[in-house]
Amino acid sequence: MTSTDTQMGRNAVENGDSVHDSGPASVCDVIDRMESSADGDETTLREVVSALGEASFVPVLMAPALAVLSPLSGVPAFSSICGITIALVAIQLLMNRDHLWLPDWMMRRKVKSESLLKATRWLRKPAGFLDRMSRERVSFLVSRPFSWVTELACLLCGLAMPFLELLPFTSSILGGAVTLFSLSLLVRDGLISVIGFCVIGCAATLVYMLVV
């Protein structure tokens, strides 16, 4: 990343906007980058993050949320790793960092490239639908200080995923909510953020019905 790109990222942070440089600008763009990272027999998280851009916080936030919605969620402990990744990215968004950091042990986590490619193909249709439905509107809801609420919701969803992995559908529902939240930040669509909070309400209701 050039010094100019770094300065642009810092300016965005100072203006109170989410950092996503010149990286992916839609859900389909994120999926394209994820697909391009699948080179060789296995793909590491480091390769996915590199493809998305290490200053592209929101796309990196969206990627594990999308993965939880795909058949990859059937891999043991996969939802937990995605949840921890979401939480770490979200807390750095809240801190207005201009460069993403993830621990080395997490960056070395890998999946079979064939499985990743199957997941991206599976996600194509819903991604296209989300991109067609989203646009800039009610943007004050995804600008400071309101965007802090959305980012905090992503953090809480990520932290909850490891604890809810054994409850059917809950991780996928939370992944859907984080996908909507990250999309709302990406395209500045406040209405999508509101829908994301409705999805969290559904997740809370499901957990209550399963546990109580």
Which residues are CB-contacts of 36 (< 8 A; sequence separation ≥ 6)? 51
36, two tokens: 């391009």
Taking CA atoms, 161 is separated from 76, 132, 166, in Å, by 13, 28, 9
What's the mean pLDDT in 59-66? Answer: 95
pLDDT at 187: 95
Taking 80 as the threshold, does the pLDDT of residue 21 lie above it? no
pLDDT in tens, 167-204: 777 888 899 999 999 999 999 999 999 999 999 998 88
Q: For residues 195 and 43, what is the distance between their CA atoms, to the nearest angstrom?
A: 32
* pLDDT tier, 74 (very low <50, low <70, confident <90, very high otherwise): confident
Q: For residues 195 and 180, what is the distance between their CA atoms, to the nearest angstrom?
A: 7
- Give the relative orientation of helices 170-187 and 113-133 as an angle to the nearest 10 degrees: 60
Domain span at residue 202 reads 3-211
pLDDT at 164: 82
Give the chain's mean pLDDT: 86
What's the mean pLDDT in 102-107? Answer: 93
pLDDT at 18: 41
Q: Among 91, 43, 34, which Cα is nearest to 62's?
A: 34
What's the mean pLDDT in 205-212? Answer: 79
CA dihedral 63, 66, 67, 72 (to 10 degrees): -160
More confident residue, 168 or 107: 107
Taking 90 as the threshold, does the pLDDT of residue 3 lie above it? no
Which residues are CB-contacts of 15 (< 8 A; sequence separation ≥ 6)? none
**Is the N-terminal amide bond of 64 cis, ω within 30° of 0?**
no
89, two tokens: 């990215």
Q: Among 179, 186, 191, which Cα is nearest to 154's?
A: 179
pLDDT at 103: 94
pLDDT in tens, 140-174: 999 999 999 999 999 999 999 998 887 777 888 89
In terms of Cβ atoms closer than 10 Å to its own Cβ (0-12, 13-18, 19+), residue 128 is middle
Q: What percent of the chain has pLDDT over 90?
A: 69
DSSP label at residue 100: -
How many structural domains compose the chain?
Answer: 1
Taking CA atoms, 194 is separated from 47, 102, 105, 155, in Å, by 32, 28, 34, 16
Cα-Cα-Cα-Cα dihedral sign, residues 52, 55, 59, 65: positive
Taking 70 as the threshold, does the pLDDT of residue 76 lie above it? yes
pLDDT in tens, 31-49: 999 999 998 899 999 999 9
Residue 54 CA from chain centroid, whole number = 13
Taking 70 as the threshold, does the pLDDT of residue 205 lie above it? yes
pTM of the model: 0.84
Contact between 108 and 62 under an 8 Å Cβ cutoff? The reply is no
